[in-house]
């Protein structure tokens, strides 16, 4: 298995007027043609890690790393134009908050169409066919209708799937999926995961799957990274997530309500200061 992505000691900090916010504090991992899960609570730096790899970090942020390399290309040294070219074709990211990422005044179909046509020179009607196929592929019933709807006219889950469809069009080698299924019902969730799974198995895509759904991550991914306050506190095989050693990971697992158990109130995380170190 060849390694697609090397991340060594990645740091992302935001100089704000009230001091420096260190969003990511020394994250290292490498990714082959596999599914890597990143879990952790809100604000632990999962999205910022993904964005740094994509080159989508806000301008004012400072990124440092000993090594940040995608299939032989040093991402830190790449010019903005090179990164844009990479972003368009070889790496893609499904952003969190689909409602924010979709343009509220353009129909879903138009948005997919535009993405498609920036990648390939194809005719209008063919592009439309492809966009409809894409919508059908992400399990949207009645793609023809959804094609002409505006973002506020589709359900939460449909918006999220439209985003996924847009990102899959380019056929990336590396896909960073930031909470791609948080608004989907469980059966559609699995359908989407199956699509991603096929891309990894058949096309050798590398997948970084960011999620706070530990149950999904543990059954879907190969490896899992657990983040807390910008650092990796634990890395383990996904199937062994339930045997995690770190009290933080155990706490996260423990506070999910499960069918058939009744715990009122639910236990909540008791954060310890030493986890920050």
Partner 1 sequence: MSDAVMTRREWLLTDRPQSRLQARLGRAYLTWSRFAANKLAVIGLGIIILLLFVAAFAPLLSPYSPYIGDLKNARLLPPSSTNWLGTDDQGRDILSRLIYGSRLTLQVIVLVAIIAAPIGLLVGTAAGYAGGWIDAVLMRITDIFLAFPKLVLALAFVAALGPGIENAIIAIALTSWPPYARIARAETLTVRNSDYIAAVKLMGASPMRIVLRHIMPLCISSLIVRVTLDMAGIILTAAGLGFLGLGAQPPLPEWGAMIASGRRFILDQWWVAAAPGAAILIVSLGFNLLGDGLRDALDTRSGGQ
Partner 2 sequence: MTPALSIDRLRVVYDDFIALKDVSLTVDKGESFGLVGESGSGKSTLLRAVAGLAPVTSGTIDVGAKRLGKTRDKEFYRQVQMVFQDPYGSLHPRQTVDRLLLEPLDIHGFADTEKRIQRALDEVGLGSGFRFRYSHQLSGGQRQRVAIARALILEPSVLLLDEPTSALDASVQAEVLNLLEQVRRDRNLTFVMVSHDLGVITHMCERLMVMQTGAEVERLEASDLASRNVTKDYTRNLLVASEGFVREP
Ligand X SMILES: Nc1ncnc2c1ncn2[C@@H]1O[C@H](COP(=O)(O)OP(=O)(O)OP(=O)(O)O)[C@@H](O)[C@H]1O
Residue ranges that bind partner 2, judged by CB under 8 A: 40-43, 97, 99-100, 140-141, 145, 153-158, 161, 179, 182-190, 193, 197, 212-216, 218-220, 251-253, 255-260, 262-269
Q: Residue 198 Cβ, how far from Mg ion at the closest point, in Å?
A: 25
In the list partner 1, Mg ion, partner 2, none, the entry touching 47 (Cβ below 5 to 8 angstroms by class) is: Mg ion
User: Quick one: CA dihedral 31, 165, 75, 57, positive or negative?
Assistant: negative
244 vs 195: CA distance, rounded Å = 28
Of 104, 177, 184, 178, nearest to 139 by C-alpha is 184
Our finding on whether 156 is near Mg ion (CB under 5 A) is yes
Cβ pair 164, 139 in contact under 8 A: no
**66 touches 8 (CB < 8 A):** yes
Q: Give yes or no for residue 6 binding ligand X (CB under 6 A).
A: no
Site map for partner 1, 55-84, x if CB under 8 A? ---x--------------------------
Q: Give the C-alpha separation, 1 to 32, whole Å.
A: 6
Stretch that binds ligand X, among 1-9, 13-21, 74-82, 162-170 (CB under 6 A): 13-21
Strands (E), 142-203: 174-178
Under the criterion CB under 5 A, does residue 47 sit at the interface with Mg ion? yes
Question: What are the tokens at 197?
Answer: 């799974």
Strands 91-94 and 174-178: what pairing?
A: parallel
Nearest distance in Å: CB 84, partner 2:
26
Output the DSSP codes for 5-73. EEEEEEEEEEEETTEEEEEEEEEEEEE-SSEEEEEE-TTSSHHHHHHHHHT-S-TT-EEE-SEEEETTE
Could you say which residues in the range 170-229 bind partner 1, by CB under 8 A? none
Q: Per CB under 6 A, does 267 bind ligand X?
A: no
- From the list partner 1, ligand X, partner 2, none, partner contacted by residue 276 (C-beta under 5 to 8 A by kind): none
Give whole-number Cα distances, 15 to 20, 42, 51, 183, 220, in Å: 4, 20, 17, 32, 36
Contact pick of 18, 42, 79, 262 for partner 1 (by CB under 8 A): 18
Give the one entry of ligand X, Mg ion, partner 1, none that residue 180 binds, where binding means its C-beta sits below a cut-off of 5 to 8 angstroms depending on kind: none
| Site residues (vs partner 1, CB under 8 A) | 16-18, 58, 104-105, 150, 152
| Site residues (vs ligand X, CB under 6 A) | 14, 16, 21, 23, 40, 42-48, 58, 96, 149, 153-158, 183, 185, 212
């Amino acid at each position: 298995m060849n390694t697609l992505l090397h991340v060594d000691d990645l740091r992302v900090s935001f100089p704000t007027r009230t001091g420096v916010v260190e969003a990511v504090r020394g994250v290292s991992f490498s990714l082959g043609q596999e599914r890597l899960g990143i879990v952790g609570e809100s604000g632990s730096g999962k999205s910022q890690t993904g964005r740094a790899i994509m080159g989508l970090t806000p301008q004012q942020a400072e990124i440092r790393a000993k090594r940040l390399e995608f299939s032989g290309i040093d991402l830190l040294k790449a010019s903005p134009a090179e990164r844009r070219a990479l972003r368009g074709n070889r790496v893609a990211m499904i952003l969190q908050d689909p409602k924010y990422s979709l343009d509220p005044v353009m129909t879903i179909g138009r948005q997919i169409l535009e993405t498609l046509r920036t990648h390939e020179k194809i005719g209008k009607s063919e592009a439309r066919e492809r966009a409809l196929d894409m919508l059908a592929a992400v399990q949207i019933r009645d793609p023809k209708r959804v094609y002409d709807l505006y973002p506020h006219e589709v359900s939460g889950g449909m918006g999220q799937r439209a985003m996924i469809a847009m990102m899959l069009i380019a056929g990336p080698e590396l896909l960073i999926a930031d909470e791609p299924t948080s608004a989907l019902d469980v059966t559609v969730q699995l359908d989407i995961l199956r699509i991603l799974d096929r891309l990894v198995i058949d096309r050798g895509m590398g997948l970084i799957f960011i999620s706070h759904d530990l149950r999904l991550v543990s059954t879907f991914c190969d490896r899992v990274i657990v983040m807390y306050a910008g650092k990796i506190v634990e890395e383990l095989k996904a199937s062994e997530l339930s045997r995690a050693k770190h009290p933080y990971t155990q706490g996260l697992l423990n506070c999910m309500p499960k069918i058939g158990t009744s715990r009122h109130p639910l236990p909540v995380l008791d954060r310890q200061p030493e986890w920050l170190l």
